Amino acid sequence: MQSVLDIKNLTVRFATADGEVAAVSDVSLSVGKGECLGIVGESGSGKSQTFMAAMGLLARNGRATGEVMFGYMNLLTAKEQTLNTVRGNKLAMIFQDPMTSLTPHMKVGRQLTEVLVRHCGLNAAAARTAAIEMLGRVRIPEAARRFDMYPHELSGGLRQRVMIAMALLCGPELIIADEPTTALDVTVQAQILALIRSTREEFNTSIILITHDLGVVAGLADRVAVMYAGRIVEIGDVDQIFNAPRHPYTKGLLACTPRLDDPATATLATIPGQPPNLQHLPRGCAYHPRCPYVMDRCRVESPKLLPTGAGQNACFLDDLDVRAAS
């Protein structure tokens, strides 16, 4: 499959008062044309920073190394000017809180048409028609009326629809959606997820879906990458990740998520301990203090992401399996 975005050995470091902190360490992944890749992780897993770095949107104290190929362009070395022509055009982003990503003092319509005029070279009248049409396509009722409203006059669900409409305006090849439904209620979340699903079929765009919610990923993604402490610990086909997870963290995450389709049990399975503190990461595998299968080797050596079965997994247990098989 032809890939749209190719990340190779991406490392993101932040300079803080207490020294340098690696938020993302040596991440490599690629997204195919029309594919939806889910990125799952908890806070501090580096799931957002990976793509903020890819988009050139890191905070000022951040520094990214490696390679992020979007088509034939390396986004990490591209000039700000070049990045601006790509961002919002071929590469669009949807954020968690649409209230902060829409300009509060500008009418929704203006913000939409501006994108069209700037990136697609439409004139004002044509941009208006196109924008209203797009609002209709993301199923905003009374699109023409909403066009002249300010962001704060819209509900959270409608704002997120506007963000999606804005992302779709220039026919992007890739949409990066960072927790697009986390700020929304369940019933609205279901609407937005259905919308993302149908736009994907309609426009054949690739989507990167960053979330902490396994349920959201299960319904939307083709492939899933699980991140922990700045690294990908497991990546694979969605069915494989959910039905036959290999990494102990993936297994733990699935086990401790309460679900509506299971019979309720007395106690939930848990992952012991606390989420990783990037400032004091343990030696070896970052997950080892919480891992039930921890071995001596895990405490000193960091496992590499290696192909296993249909996906890739970063765990020394795989070595044991291989040895047992031979």
324: contact with another protein by CB under 8 A = no
Q: In what order do the strands lie in the sheet with 73-74?
A: 19-32, 3-16, 62-70, 73-74
Report how far apart, in Å, the C-alpha atoms of 298 and of each of 37, 143, 275, 288, 313 are.
28, 56, 17, 6, 14
219: contact with another protein by CB under 8 A = yes
Compare residues 112 and 158 and give the one whose CB is closer to another protein.
158
Compare residues 216 and 305 and give the one whose CB is closer to another protein.
216
269: contact with another protein by CB under 8 A = yes
17: contact with another protein by CB under 8 A = yes
Residue 288 gets which letter from DSSP? G
Taking the C-alpha atoms of residue 229 and residue 233, their distance in angstroms, rounded to an integer, is: 9
Element counts in the chain: helices (H) and strands (E): 13, 12
274: contact with another protein by CB under 8 A = yes
Q: Which one among 126, 188, 244, 295 touches another protein, defined by CB under 8 A?
A: 188
Taking the C-alpha atoms of residue 176 and residue 48, their distance in angstroms, rounded to an integer, is: 10
Interstrand relation of 231-237 and 174-178 (parallel, antiparallel or unpaired): unpaired
Taking the C-alpha atoms of residue 172 and residue 134, their distance in angstroms, rounded to an integer, is: 13
- Among left, alpha and beta (phi > 0; psi -120 to 50; other), residue 140 is beta
Q: Mask of contacts with another protein, 231-250, x by CB under 8 A?
A: -------xx--xx-------
Q: Mask of contacts with another protein, 249-268, x by CB under 8 A?
A: ---xxx-xxxxxx--x--xx
Taking the C-alpha atoms of residue 132 and residue 172, their distance in angstroms, rounded to an integer, is: 18
Report how far apart, in Å, the C-alpha atoms of 12 and of each of 16, 21, 134, 152, 158 are.
13, 8, 36, 34, 34
Residues 157-186 that bind another protein (CB under 8 A): 157-158, 185-186
Q: Which one among 67, 114, 213, 301 touches another protein, defined by CB under 8 A?
A: 213
153: three-class secondary structure by DSSP: helix
Please identify, among the stretches 90-98, 117-125, 172-180, 208-216, the one whose residues bind another protein according to the rule CB under 8 A. 208-216
155: contact with another protein by CB under 8 A = yes
61: contact with another protein by CB under 8 A = no
182: three-class secondary structure by DSSP: coil
Q: Mask of contacts with another protein, 18-57, x by CB under 8 A?
A: ------------------------xx--------------
255: three-class secondary structure by DSSP: helix
309: contact with another protein by CB under 8 A = no
212: contact with another protein by CB under 8 A = yes
Compare residues 69 and 295 and give the one whose CB is closer to another protein.
295
Q: Which residues bind another protein (CB under 8 A)?
A: 17, 42-43, 141, 155-158, 185-191, 193-194, 212-219, 221, 238-239, 242-243, 252-254, 256-261, 264, 267-275, 277, 289-290
